[in-house]
Each structure stands twice: as structure tokens, then as C-alpha cells.
Amino acid sequence: MVEQLASAAALPTAGWEALLGPEDAFQSPRWLAVQERTGATTLRYLIQRRAGTAVAGLVTAWADESVPWLLARPDTLLEHARADGLDRAERCGAGEPPSALLPALVCGGRHLGRTRVVTGPGAGRDDVEALVAAAERLAAERGAASVCFPHVDVRDADLVTLLGGRGYDWHTSAQYCWLPVPTGGFDAYLAGMSQHRRRRVRLERRAVAEAGVEVGLQPLVAALAPRLGELDAMLLAKYGNPADPARSAEVLTGIAEMMGDDALVSLARRDGEVIGFGLVLRSRAQGEEQWFGHRAGFDYSAQGHLPLYYVVLYYCVLEAAAAAGVRVLHAGIGSTDAKLARGCEASEQRSFLLRLPKPVPVPRLAGTANPASLRATLRTPGALR
């Protein structure tokens, strides 16, 4: 039986957390509560139960042209893939503009990388398929043009096969990167590099230190949000994304308040002023701690030619992770070549798309309610709005 929940606050008592693995930081109840507060859309949570016990779960989010998360939206994700010449992007949806995919139901979480159905140890293929089918019904009832799983990892072979069998088209969407943390810490990390790369890393760290920039990791607190919001907006604007410092500060405040000590920030300061940051989230599911890079920002006028990005997001965080006994840093999507050059591993992500039939208008007399629409509303009181 598939149950639909309308709030992340209901997930802990519904058995959701037992479905999460160490790599599911962005599907934790606390992070989903952040998205409810800051995501500018409606989320619904589908849970498959057997004998009353939750065995699998699926996050869904409504996406139309108003939502700002462009790399988890099927239309802009397809446009990006076509611009980058990614596999199957040109043939996927050929003959239709990407805008025809909206509105869409985005499934598996709207985070960038590792879109998936969360499953407990007792889950089988039928349980996952029941959730996918429920999401498709929800999308059709809401009037969606498509269903999208934006970043399915090719290593998730069961989900890849299942979606293909249900008629989903797909295109490559990104490469997802992660960095294994050696047990010997930063020295062992350097030892695993070529002599040329070791020299480059040492020069990068020395340049930052000689410029009077101090870099360190600390908990994220709301008092930092206004300045970090400015830096976040600077990075977004640099790459052509919608940028609003006040909005970024609001998001960071929500993260600080809801994530508590599971939100860390790597800060670069010069003369007391923050000129760069990287946000790291901690997952401690199933007794295993892993760290996830989430967002970053830099004051480019203050940074100049300093290699702050790598010092802030890699070297500082890696040292702290090794000291904490963490064995995996998740670097996410984007800048794949640079990440691979610094020791990351990568896996292909695919956007799976199912186009839904357009609703057939039901003739009705002037001045009367549309009975089909009314039945749908009565049937799904928790439908996305």
C-alpha cells in the first residue's frame, strides 16, 4: 500500500529514516524540511508499506517555470545537456521544445546527483515499482506534462532497468563525483598524486596563506547568513543563474536553523572579512558518517587570482574529514575534470523522462463545474497545488 504524506515533519514517525543509507543526506527529514521552507514549490512523500512497515519511499516535487532550481528541472536540464553535447540529449524529446516538459513531477529528490527511491532491507522490485506508478498517477491527476527522475546514477541498475521498462526516455545529465578520504589524512592524499599535482596543491595552499587568508571549518550559524548570501549570489550570477543575496541569505538561515551541527561551513577570511565559503552537510545514517558539499560563494574582487575554490572546498574540508574519521566526501556535479584531477571518482547520471498524455477536455454546460476535475480534487485532497 502506498501512503502519501504532505509534510517532512511526519516522516520520522512514518519510518522514513530506517530507509536512508549513508549517501541519502538530501533525503533526510531535516533536509526535506529545509526544502519545504525554501524551495518555492510543494513536496509530497510516497511511502510503500508492507504489513504496516515502511519498506520504500519516494520524494516528489512539483516543477513549473517559476521554480529556480534549474539543474533539477527537466526542461532546463535538457537544454543544458544539449548545449554540452551530452549523450542522447539531442534525440531525447526531438521535435518538441524542452518547455513542453512542464509542468513536471520531479521524483527522487530535487538535489543534484543520486536521484533514487530510498529502500529498506526488505524492499523488492515490486515495492519500488509501486512507488513509481503512484508518482505517475499523482502527476497525471495534477495535470503534469511529464514525470522526471533528474539524476539517476547508472550504478542504480535496478531503477535504470525499471524506468526503461515503463517507457521512460533518458539522456545523460551530469557526472557525479566523490572523493575517498585516505586513512592517513592530507599527507596520504598528497602521496597518492603525481609529483606535478602534489607541487600544484602545495603552491595553491601557499599562495592563499601568503596572501593573509585564513581558512577553517566551523558550524554554520544564522549570523553568517547575510555575508554568505552575498557570496552565494556572486557565484550564481557568475554562471548565469538567478541571483538574489537576500534570498540566498534566507536559504542559509533555514539551513543553519534546521540542520544544526550537521551543517558545517569552510570559511576563507582576510582581515576578518569572509571572502569565500563552502557549505558541507553531514549524514550519519546507519552509523556511517559521510560529508556532502552543497553550495559555495566567493568575493571575486577580493579573491583575485587566488585559488580559493580548491583550498576552501577540498583541502580544508579533507583535512577536517580525515581527522573526524570520515571516509567519503561527496563533491556532486559540475567541474568534473578539475575534480578528477584532485582525486575524485565519478559516475554517470541520467535524466529519465516520461511524457504524459494531455488531458482530454470534458464537455460541460456553461455555469457548471467540470465533473472530472471535481472528482480528481475529491479523490486527492493532498494533491500538489
pLDDT in tens, 249-296: 999 999 999 999 999 999 999 999 999 999 999 998 888 999 999 999
- pLDDT of res. 292: 97
Domains defined along the chain, listed by start? 2-175+349-379 (3.40.630.30), 182-326 (3.40.630.30)
Q: What is the pLDDT of residues 194-217, one digit of tens each?
A: 999 999 999 999 999 999 999 999
Omega within 30 of 0 (cis) for the link into 98 = no
- pLDDT of res. 283: 92
Q: How far apart are CA 108 and CA 354, in angstroms?
A: 14
* Residue 134: exposure state from Cβ atoms within 10 A (0-12, 13-18, ≥19): buried
CB neighbour list of residue 24: distance below 8 Å, 6 or more residues apart: 116, 118, 283, 285
CA dihedral 302, 303, 304, 307 (to 10 degrees): 170
- pLDDT of res. 361: 55
DSSP letter, residue 87:
T
Residue type, 292: F
Q: How far apart are CA 347 and CA 115, in angstroms?
A: 13
- pLDDT of res. 276: 98
Give pLDDT < 50 ranges for the chain. Answer: 362, 364-385
- pLDDT of res. 39: 79
Place of cell 501512503: 3
* Residue 84: exposure state from Cβ atoms within 10 A (0-12, 13-18, ≥19): exposed
**In 10 A of CB 56, how many CB atoms?**
24
Q: Are strands 273-283 and 118-119 parallel, antiparallel or unpaired?
A: unpaired
